[in-house]
Amino acid sequence: MLLKDKVVLITGGASGIGAAVTRRFIQEGAKVSIIGRSLETLEQMKEEFNDNLLIIQGDVSKYEDNERAVKATVEQFGKLDVFIANAGVFDGFAKFADVTPDALSDAYDYLLNINVKGSFFGAKAALEELQKTNGNIIFTVSGASFYPDGGGVWYTASKHAQIGLMRQLAFELAPTIRVNAVAPGGTLTALTVIPPLRTFTKSVDNDTKASNIKRRNPLQLAQMPEDHVAAYVLLASDQSRAITGEVISSDGGLSVRGLG
């Protein structure tokens, strides 16, 4: 029960890595709020966890929705200890040279509004409540935050931007609030390609995706969402009180893959 009595707000907490983190946090004793766009997916999570979970339908790229989620969390559970900016979308490895200028612009607005602006807005909306609890912020970044070919240019740029945001906030918000990140590698989730880029990408079945992921990392793991949750638990817990401005890479060893 490493997170007993903690109150946590997770964006994108109803699917993929976010859903796995939600489940584990509740098992560790936390009360959790999740914000997402799909009411059906949110309600499925609510059925599973009842009073330990608050669901909020909203769009993280809108500041008022982030603000509403924070307010609802505090009204329901009395405080906020941890904010996790996890919501994200993907560009499907679309190639820069192939995409038309109009689609390039639409993709930029769509993807960076969620991946980057959503992180800015969520952190800002949570700030005042986290100051009251000496809380912490965790960003879901990516192997694409450090290396090319973890996505296309839109996704890679967005994940690099999140690292800059995390480090600057860790500097500015210390000593009151800790700010860290988890960088999952390629993971088998239902992450779909954003609409502006779907005509410029090819769909890949799960077996092919798993094979591609295994080839990319030294541990040869086709990672599942559950493979990453322990890193979030550590960073959210009081056992990491000396850690800020850091990234835990949960990627099968991408940094040591060498030239092969």
Write down the domain spans for the chain: 7-255
What single letter denotes the amino acid at residue 74?
V
Q: What is the pLDDT of residue 257?
A: 80
Nearest to 103 by CA among 116, 92, 114, 119: 92
Token pair of 62, please? 């809108």
Predicted local distance difference test score (pLDDT) of residue 215: 86
pLDDT at 189: 85
pTM above 0.85, yes or no: yes
Which residues are paired to 136 by β-bridges? Answer: 82, 178
- Residue-level pLDDT at 260: 56
d(CA 84, CA 220): 28
Would you state the pLDDT for residue 9?
Answer: 98
Q: Which two tokens mark 218? A: 């030294």
Domain range 7-255, CATH architecture: 3-Layer(aba) Sandwich (3.40)
> What's the confidence (pLDDT) of residue 259?
63
Task: Say if residues 26 and 77 touch (Cβ distance below 8 Å).
Answer: no
Q: Which of 108, 110, 155, 232 is catalytic?
A: 155
- Helix H or strand E segment including 48: helix 39-49
DSSP summary character for residue 120: H
Q: What is the pLDDT of residues 174-211, one digit of tens each?
A: 999 999 999 999 898 877 899 999 999 988 888 888 89
155 annotated active-site: yes
Please list the rounded mean pLDDT of every run of 10 residues in the chain (260 residues): 97 96 97 96 93 96 98 98 97 96 97 98 98 98 94 97 98 98 90 91 85 88 94 98 97 81
